[in-house]
Amino acid sequence: MSAPADLTERAGRSAAAIRTRSPGVSPRIGLVLGSGLGGLTDCIEGALRIPYEEIDGFPEPGVEGHAGELVLGELGGVPCVVMRGRAHLYEGHSARLATFPVRVLAELGIQALFLSNAAGAINPDFVPGDLMIIRDHLNLTGTNPLVGPPVSGEPRFPDMTAAWDVELRSILREASNETGVPLQEGVYAALLGPSFETPAEIRMLGKLGADAVGMSTVPELIVARARGIRCFGVSCLTNYAAGLGDAALDHEEVIATTHRVAKSFRDLLTAAVTAADRCLTAAPSG
């Protein structure tokens, strides 16, 4: 019986196919743009756009605000590969499939991955429209993308002590000072979704140490760390988490808030990517 193709091999083939469409582009930083944040790709210079359905193994995202294309080009002079839209576990994809694109980005040679998302604000000092550096996370999705046969080139038990890179987090703070875009900092709790949380669940998450809650990001972070890629990320706090504000929660509000902060997000990220690249070039990732 022949073994099924290893995920790393398969990702390598998808990366090779992408490279034939973008000769000369060697992305150093990957970016995943969450709900409503995809407009950032308008700032990519020399953008080559590849719809996800044209890339072998990519799951197709089906949520409003997630376009589903890979964009290669330069942001702030840095060669980048941007995922405009992501697959979520709540769409029914396995965690392994939903995170396959991260393995493709790894095979494309990225050294750092920036992850973004829309999230509900739990910390009482945070308000909708705030951007929050992700300092750490709680994986409450009920699964893990590394479940299954070991994948070549990845440790079986990757360390998550410094999952969110200390140096890249300080670069985000410097980018905040440089651009004047204020940043909060906190712990992101990832839940499966797709229903929003109950007020009791939000009270529980607050007691567990969560500052924000969402339905994505953590599976991608786990795979990236297994590949030795340095990670940093920002949550766009789009609403008060359930029970903390007056209004009922809905996806339209989430998207409307991301559009409101789009310019700040873009300015911050362009500055952060440029500085992160300097740091990666000075000290290659290990």
Binding residues for ligand HPA, rule CB under 6 A, total 13
Instruction: Establish if 188 lies at the interface with ligand HPA (CB under 6 A).
Output: no
Instruction: Indicate the residue whose CB is closest to ligand HPA.
Output: 120
Q: Exactly one of 134, 215, 271, 273 binds ligand HPA (CB under 6 A); which one?
A: 215
Instruction: Establish if 115 lies at the interface with ligand HPA (CB under 6 A).
Output: no
Which helix (H) or strand (E) is 240 found in, with range? strand 230-240
- Residue in 118, 163, 175, 189 annotated catalytic: 118
Kindly tell me which of 118 and 276 has the beta carbon lying closer to ligand HPA: 118
Indicate the angle between helix axes 251-260 and 262-282, nearest 10 degrees: 70
The pair of three-digit structure tokens given for residue 194, joined into one six-digit string? 């797709």
Active site residue 91: yes
Q: Exactly one of 71, 98, 115, 241 binds ligand HPA (CB under 6 A); which one?
A: 241
Instruction: Establish if 165 lies at the interface with ligand HPA (CB under 6 A).
Output: no
CB atoms within 10 A of CB 267: 17
CB atoms within 10 A of CB 173: 13
Active site residue 251: yes
Q: Exactly one of 33, 95, 110, 118 binds ligand HPA (CB under 6 A); which one?
A: 118
Query: CB of 40: closest distance to ligand HPA in angstroms?
Result: 18
Kindly tell me which of 18 and 212 has the beta carbon lying closer to ligand HPA: 212
Contacts of 227 (CB under 8 A, 6+ apart): 102, 103, 106, 153, 154
Question: What letter does residue 138 receive in the DSSP assignment?
Answer: E
- Alpha-carbon distance of 142 to 226, in angstroms, equals 19
Instruction: Establish if 255 lies at the interface with ligand HPA (CB under 6 A).
Output: no
Instruction: Establish if 234 lies at the interface with ligand HPA (CB under 6 A).
Output: no
| Phi (first) and psi of residue 14, to 5 degrees | -65, -40
Contacts of 16 (CB under 8 A, 6+ apart): none
Contacts of 113 (CB under 8 A, 6+ apart): 29, 30, 31, 32, 102, 105, 220, 221, 224, 229, 230, 231, 232
Instruction: Establish if 239 lies at the interface with ligand HPA (CB under 6 A).
Output: yes
Which among 55-63, 93-101, 115-123, 222-230 is the span making contact with ligand HPA, rule CB under 6 A?
115-123
Query: CB of 66: closest distance to ligand HPA in angstroms?
Result: 12
* R_g of the chain computed on alpha carbons: 18
Kindly tell me which of 176 and 257 has the beta carbon lying closer to ligand HPA: 257
Q: Catalytic site residues?
A: 35, 66, 88, 90-91, 118, 215-216, 239, 251
Site of interaction with ligand HPA (CB under 6 A): 118-120, 196-197, 213-215, 238-239, 241, 249, 254
